[in-house]
Amino acid sequence: MTLGNFDERAAYQIVEGIYSSVITNDITRRHNIMNFDLFNRVVKYIVENVGKTFSANAIAKFLKSEGRSLSIEAVYNYLSWLEKAFVIYRCRRYDLQGKSILKTQEKFYLADSSLKYCIMGFNPKSVAAMLENIVYFELRRRGYEVYV
C-alpha cells in the first residue's frame, strides 16, 4: 500500500516524528515535565480512549492501579497542555435537564487520527471510535457546537 510517494512504513515514521517533536519539544520542554514516561502514559491513555467519556480522576485512578502516582491537578494540566498544542480537542458533556455544561466525563478527540495508529498500532476494534473522531471534526468544521 502506498500513500502518495510514501509506503506505509515511511508514513508511520513521519507521523512518529511529528508526535515526538510535538510531545517532546512543544509540551514537555515548554512545561518542564520531568517525568516523561508518566506523561507519555497519560497520552497513551487518552489515545486508547478516544471517543469514550472519562475524567481526570479516572486517569489518576488508572495510573494508581498501575502502581504510578499522579495528582488530578497534574492530569488536568496535561490535558490542557495537549489541547493548547492542538493534539486533542475536548468535547464537553451537556446536561439536558439542568441545561448546563457539566465538568466531568468529557470526551477527547485526536486532531490527527494517524497519531492513534502511530502510538497504539492498528486495531480493528478502534475503527468505530476513529469514525466518531472523524464525525466530530466534520461537525466542528461545518460550524456546529458538539456536546456529549
Kindly report, residue by residue over 49-100, the tens digit of the pLDDT: 998 989 899 999 999 999 999 999 999 999 999 999 999 999 988 776 665 5
Q: Return d(Cα 39, Cα 35) in angstroms, integer.
A: 6
pLDDT 10s digits, 90-123: 998 877 666 555 556 789 999 988 888 888 878 8
Grid cell, residue 141, equals 468544521
This prediction has a pTM of 0.83
